[in-house]
Chains A and B, each alone.
Chain A
Amino acid sequence: MIEVKGVSKSFGSNQVLKDISFDVKEGEVVVLVGPSGSGKSTLLRCINFLEEFQAGEILVDGAAVGYSGGTSGPSRRRQSEADVANLRTKAGMVFQNYNLFPHKTAIENVMMGPVLVNKDSKADARAHGLELLAKVGLKDRADHFPSQLSGGQQQRVAIARALAMRPKVMLFDEVTSALDPELVDEVLKTLRDLSNEGMTMIIVTHEMQFARDVADRLLFFYQGAIIEDGPPAEVFANPKTERFQTFVKRFQANSHRG
């Protein structure tokens, strides 16, 4: 479903992604973890081309993202804005700070993509949108504005908004990091439900327990490279690197949930 091949990215002279390669199968739930600045969020944002990358190729459902013509070299060209926008509909993204449109109600937020991009009728979009809001448990808040919703509720609306485009893969960028501890669980439950339905998901998170429970695969990022890759149980039990051990220990010590 997702193929990342040799992706490298630098911000100026600072290389944040070093030749990253991995695949994600359909229905897989992959969790990306690592210290801040390790490149995991950047890589996620490359997948839906919110970030450019100087070398490498990313394929979503077989189609190249952002560039056409290979992984590097003169034939590599940026895609048109239209193509990029089109490809973004295949990958739904949920952000750390929810990023709901403040001037639209919850249902309007969810309807925006289908109406404006897919040219669905407003009636169809509304019906589908209400279904999705019901799925995340917020049908009765459909006509509320984001300012009237709690953080956890806003995040769930954001998830519904991303799902409205019927994406092939869902990308989650630290979606619980900005939430008060009491609100984290409701969002994690929604993620769990999605994974049980077979959605392909790539999740950047600090929630280690969640990673252990839900992920099929765990990738540990460190300074722009993946240094651990495997089922979470295995990685936690037999880490290949000391760095991962240190990272996990630090997390258990600083855990804000307990």
Chain B
Amino acid sequence: MDVAILNLGYLLKAAIVTLEMAAATVVFSFLLGTALGVFAALGGTAVRSVLTVYVYIVRGVPVLVLIFIAYFGLPRMGLDAPNYVAATIALVIYFAAFVADIVRGSILAVPKTTVEAGMSIGLRKAQILTQIQLPLGMRLALPPLVTTASIAVKSTSYASIVGVWELTYASREVVERTLAAFQIFFAVMLIYFCICYPISLGATYLQRRLKTS
């Protein structure tokens, strides 16, 4: 395990890159996805159909293929972006679809009767949205959203395939140099685990706490 410890500094630096990429992915995909989800929940069939198609495509295509499309496609469109930007864009587009679907479902899951109660005291549609549907909907959405965040963190490792220097890429470098595959990869898996497991515990905790209220 000394190999792992010797290289730990290098690996932890790469872990920070992973976290940065994960944070960017989560923030942008959640913002985009929430906006789309709210529109789809309240808008007409047109917006809802667009979202359905978008989710269907993203659900059925591997993240890696989307990353390749972004990686090779962006230069073609005239945008000369570094590889991690292309990868992040692909990840944001991927996860925004899931976030949008979750948010839409959660807003619609707010019981119609609760909405009617708001209507009966004279609240306007916009007020019902901001005071009732969004707060209650987002509470329902929180557990699956947290799970999605955990998956997003793991997906950053696929960026290594297009050459982005993050934790998985760095671990590969070290293994090829030192040949200590098991020790290094075990250490790296532990790092990923330490990031993702607490997040998934958070989701379970939220699930239980929000059920009682």
Contact = CB atoms under 8 A, between A and B. Distances in A.
Interface in B103-149: 111, 113-114, 116-125, 127, 131-132, 135-136, 139
Interface stretch (A59-67, A109-117, A235-243): A109-117
Interface residues of B, number: 21
Interface stretch (A93-101, A201-209, A226-234): A93-101
A127 interface: no
A102 B136 contact: yes
Interface in B34-61: none
A100 B111 CA distance: 11
Given A101-B132, A102-B136, A112-B131, A85 B122 contact: yes
Contacts of A85: 119, 122-124
Contacts, number: 72
Contacts of A95: 113, 116-117, 120
B119 A101 contact: no
Contacts of A117: 121-124, 127
A92 B121 contact: yes
Interface residues of A, number: 29
Nearest to B213: A147
A101 B117 contact: yes
A161 interface: yes
A103 B135 contact: yes
Interface in A131-188: 145, 147, 158, 161-162, 164-165
Contacts of A50: 116, 119-120
Contacts of A93: 120
Nearest to B136: A103
A161 to B, nearest CB: 7
Interface of B: 111, 113-114, 116-125, 127, 131-132, 135-136, 139, 212-213
